[in-house]
Amino acid sequence: MGRIYYQVIDVTDFGPYVTKLVLGLPAEVRAEDVAPEQFNVYVEVLSWQGEVVPIPKDFLTQDEFIPSRAFRPVTRAYPSTRTGEPLDRGVYITLEMPYGPIYSCSSTLVADVEDLNGHEYYAFSNYRITQITPIGGEHPMQGLVFDTCAGVFNPKRDRFLEDISSDPKIPMRYGYYLPRIGRGKRPLIIFLHGAGEGGTDTAIAYSGNKVTSFTDPDKQEIFGGATVLVPQCETMWLDDGSHTYGAEGVEGLARFSGRSMYTEALKSLIDEFIEKYRDIIDTNRIYVGGDSNGGFMTMRMIMSYPDFFAAAFPICEAMPDIRVSGEDIEHLKRLPIWFTHGKHDPVVAPEDFALPTYQRLIRAGAQNVHLTLLEEIRDIHEGFKNEAGEPYRYFDHFAWIPVLNNDCVLDYDGTPVTVNGAVTPIMNWLALQSR
């Protein structure tokens, strides 16, 4: 048995990654004595059954799978605290490793995530770190092997608490965050996950994508402090009880009911949560949004309860426009809504979903309804690059990335959304809405 190490996970725009390994040493080292080339890092991503998780060889086609095992390069090494903060000297060494979408399949760098029946789950990244050249200095070291994980630090995920609703028919798991700033009653943001984040691993619902951004200090400042609620369903939000989820093409849309077996259970969860935290939640500022499958459920909730929410932000929403009635439009035209969709989304085509619904709302006289239609979605925050060294272009379905980064500003006509003459990004706009 070798020495211990810790994993440090960051929740990024492309999901959670193990970005650092922290090695426990037998003696203190100085910064000048540590270098990346002193270490060899090997990893296997294991399921809870101890099996190596298969991953797609190519992200877009996903028709050929390879075992998730690889050697990971080390780009930086330094003495640190146990959680990876740099020090001039210390009894831990932190190794930083490259990560991002171009590494996800070939180098198994997506942190601890496996796919099971269409849903993602945190798995376990099993590392073996070998010292391959000596460390000099006051306490020379050589031949160390680190193969026992003593803990995982995922600070963004760990901001959330978890619970389960008491609905007798469909009890629902959820994660939630309570505000650290502000006084009195503050808004509630409800985020509804996409298809992959359903299932039974609740942490995936709020950390499989960067939903954690709502808890970042700058976003919390926008809202003056906000409670964040992230419910999770076990199948799909768009499961109407038949456990079938529609089909492609016009005929598929016609067969798609637009109903959800979770509608009443989700409303029950929300009501129960609000009652539990009634001292801090402003019931006039309840905002609901979600991506893809969760965008469908956002539409379902505002169609079923149009007077309950203060605003909605559906993202690449999957409610077919043919399932939005004229009566729905008349109710929703009074609700502040900001749609976001990729113009070339191959999964949920905007011309069948958000675009015609938005246009009908505008024709009906909606005064505070917006649509950001994205020509493309490129990385501008993580530093991810493609093979040519250019900013990485995400899959055109990933419209939640600019929303969760508060990058959406332009309306459908290409002009900025403004409030009282000031350009207003989507989260700032959301924070201003009240019943």
> Do both 233 and 183 map to the same domain?
yes
* Whether residue 77 sits in one domain with residue 178: no
Residue 117 has pLDDT above 70, yes or no: no
Q: Are both 220 and 100 inside the same structural domain?
A: no
Domain termination site, one of 119, 153, 187: 153
pLDDT at residue 1, as a whole number? 64
Tokens standing for residue 85: 């903060």
Q: What is the CATH number of the domain that holds 92?
A: 2.60.40.2180
Residue 248: CB partners within 8 Å, gap ≥ 6?
A: none
Determine the Cα angle at 278 with ends 277 and 281, to 5°. 85
pTM attached to this predicted model: 0.94
The pLDDT of residue 47: 77
Rounded distance between C-alpha atoms, residue 188 and residue 272, angstroms = 13
Residues 36 and 170 placed together within one structural domain of the fold:
no
- Same domain assignment for residues 269 and 357: yes
Same domain, 355 and 207: yes
Q: Which has the higher per-residue pLDDT, 420 or 121?
A: 420
The predicted-structure confidence for 242-291, as pLDDT tens digits, reads as follows 877 654 444 556 668 899 999 999 999 999 999 999 999 999 999 999 99
DSSP string, 37-87: GGEEEEEEEE-TTSPBPEEESSTTT--SEEESEEEE---EEEEE-TTS-B-
CATH number at residue 204: 3.40.50.1820
Same domain membership, residue 149 and residue 256: no
* 222 in the same domain as 287: yes
| pLDDT tens sequence across 89-113 | 999 999 999 988 876 543 333 455 5
Say how far apart CA 244 and CA 264 lie, in whole Å: 19
Structural domain boundaries enclosing 201 = 157-431
Give the domain-ending residue among 137, 153, 169.
Answer: 153
Average pLDDT, integer, range 341-353: 96
Tell me the average pLDDT across 315-319: 96
Q: Are residues 268 and 345 in the same domain?
A: yes
- State how many domains the chain has: 2
Q: What is the pLDDT of residue 249?
A: 44
User: What is the rounded average pLDDT of the residues 324-338?
Assistant: 98
Same domain for 125 and 241? Answer: no
Alpha-helix runs per DSSP H in 136-228: 202-207, 217-223
Among 153, 179, 196, the domain-final residue is 153
Under the banding of pLDDT at 50, 70 and 90, the label for residue 65 is confident
168 in the same domain as 285: yes
Same domain, 334 and 197: yes
- Residue ranges of the alpha helices (H) in 142-239? 202-207, 217-223
- Residue partners of 197: CB distance under 8 A and separation at least 6: 119, 120, 204, 205, 208, 209, 232
What does the pLDDT average to over 186-196?
96
Backbone angles phi, psi at 347, to 5 degrees: -95, -50
Mean pLDDT of 199-223: 96
CA distance 361 to 12: 34
